[in-house]
Amino acid sequence: MKKNIRKILIANRGEIAIRVMKTCRAMGIRSVAVFSDADRGSPYLRDADETFHIGPSTARESYLNQEKILTVARTSGADAIHPGYGFLSENPQFVEAVEKTGLVFIGPSSASIRTLGDKTSARAIARQIGIPVVPGSDGSITSPGQALDVARTIGFPVLLKAAAGGGGKGMRVVREEGELAAAFKMATSEAASSFSDDRVYLEKYILNPRHVEVQILADAHGNVIHLGERECSIQRRHQKIIEESPSPAMNDTLRAGLTKSAVNLAAHVGYTNAGTVEFIVDESGDYFFMEVNTRLQVEHPVTEMRTGLDLVREQIIIAGGGRLSLKQEDVTFDGHSLECRIYAEDSANNFSPFIGTIGHVLHPSGAGIRLDTGIESGSRISAHYDPMISKVITHGSSRREALALMAGALERYEIYGVKTNLDLLIWVINHPEFSSGIFDTNFLGRNYRPEMFDRIPAEVAELAAHVAALVHLRAEDRVRLCAEVHDASWTSRRSDYLR
């Protein structure tokens, strides 16, 4: 049934709220933004037609508060809810509640999220229809004894994973039998506390694999298409930091296998809307299904740059009961696109989030560069939410061109007041192994040493920003002061690793 969507509530914040509202404007749809105490005055609220306060800073009491969000949807007269990513985007109870109120959820059905969001049931379905899955347990593991049986069958090392996990959290590598019982206990309690679901399962830990995923779109009229693959092997803490499309390690046979598997899986479960099927490719080039993300992905821009499509627009059309705006044979791929995720974090200290105020930021811009962010000078990185500052996306006619654009954009980026992973990203982008295109998820494990990044006196830069702010320096003097402190440290250490 076709539904007219005229007003969308975005149940999210920051960068992704801005991204969704951009498409709303282009489609003549009104937008409703929600905010917590911590987000009062945030840039994304300026882009919304209406804004509603939904509670205290903790996510549980605001962005995860289903009742509050549904109440705002009712009072604002929104016809649809876009969940962005994270928060409630993959929560089947929430989607069910949205469906019950007669509102449109811009994403798949609650039934699809229930089947595919649970990683063990998604594995079972993939296996049923003949898609190779990572060797591991059938369903979840309920005792250390069972874990040991499965581990002995598939061989060590193994990976314990939370059935409800996401964002790289809830994973534990186990290298030998003696560690398994304790690891099982810890993984179970971590899963319970992080995801309110203590179920864990077991997979063979594949050594030096690549993470390659396929973007799919499906409408309610039986049309399923794919938009090619994304290579996401540069990761820290099992979470992506650099993504690109196409994958530099692709051949036609592998691409055909991956895309066909992804489309078949979506068609088999009657999936609708945008989704991503994630695979792991081992050193011999064999691929295995890993999981499905039943939402818009953080790295969707690289696919948009290459295909010229607006994925949020497709999501809205599909959710409204419309047909996909194109067929598989009409999808075209142009050039190469790369994305770097800029995080406020400490590259020398286990990539831990860096909380603080951004005294000054100047985002790079220019031809071939797209910048998605919800941060401006004065924005605060709070402990309550994800510490991502922005995504820099470049698009060129070749990988080499996209890389050169990225190197330039990252070099020009000015962020003072918090530690960021900018230096780490610049190092990766310039690393010969990365430029060669032959790398895997163990790139950092193999090449990175915390000492390479531990002389960055961000505290000094932060102090400079504070002092400058206190003495009411003119904005440009403040920038110069921060830049001088930063440049002095940067010049002294860049020669260490940029050769």
- 270 to 289, contacts with Mg ion by CB under 5 A? 278
Distance of closest approach, residue 150 Cβ to Mg ion, in angstroms: 21
Question: Angle 118-120-121 (CA atoms, 0-180°, nearest 5)?
Answer: 70
Angle at 441 between CA 237 and CA 275, to 5 degrees: 80
Q: How far is the CB of 79 from ligand ADP (least distance, A)?
A: 25
Pick out residues in 359-418 that bind ligand ADP (CB under 6 A): 386
The option from Mg ion, ligand ADP, none interacting with 172 (CB < 5 to 8 A, set by class) reads none
Residue nearest Mg ion, CB atom distance: 278
* CB of 492 vs ligand ADP, minimal distance in Å: 32
Q: How far apart are CA 325 and CA 327, in angstroms?
A: 7
Contacted by 52, from Mg ion, ligand ADP, none: CB < 5 to 8 Å by type: none
Would you call the peptide bond into 157 cis, given omega within 30 degrees of 0 as the criterion? yes
208/489 with CB nearer ligand ADP? 208
Of the candidate spans 97-105, 123-131, 167-175, 179-187, the one that interacts with ligand ADP by CB under 6 A turns out to be: 167-175
C-beta pairs of 130-133 under 8 Å, 24+ apart in sequence: 131/261, 131/264, 131/265, 131/289, 132/286, 132/287, 132/288, 132/289, 133/288, 133/289
Examine residue 275 and tell whether it contacts ligand ADP (CB under 6 A): no
Q: Which residues are catalytic?
A: 295
Choosing among ligand ADP, Mg ion, none, which partner's interface includes residue 168 (Cβ < 5 to 8 Å by kind)? ligand ADP
Which of residues 79 and 90 has its CB atom nearest to Mg ion in the complex? 90
| Rounded Cα–Cα distance for residues 142 and 145 (Å) | 8
134 sits near ligand ADP (criterion: CB under 6 A): yes
Residues 68, 82, 211, 486: which binds ligand ADP (CB under 6 A)? 211
Could you tell me the CA-to-CA distances from 223 to 264, 270, 305, 320, 323 in Å, in that order? 11, 10, 23, 15, 8
Integer Cα distance of 200 and 329 in angstroms: 40
Q: Which of 166, 228, 275, 387 touches ligand ADP (CB under 6 A)?
A: 166
Nearer to ligand ADP, 226 or 240 (CB): 240
439 binds ligand ADP (CB under 6 A): no
Exposed, middle or buried, 398 (CB in 10 Å: 0-12/13-18/19+)? exposed
Q: Given the complex with Mg ion, which of 166 and 417 has the nearer CB atom?
A: 166
Q: How far apart are CA 427 and CA 421, in angstroms?
A: 10
Q: Which residues bind Mg ion (CB under 5 A)?
A: 278
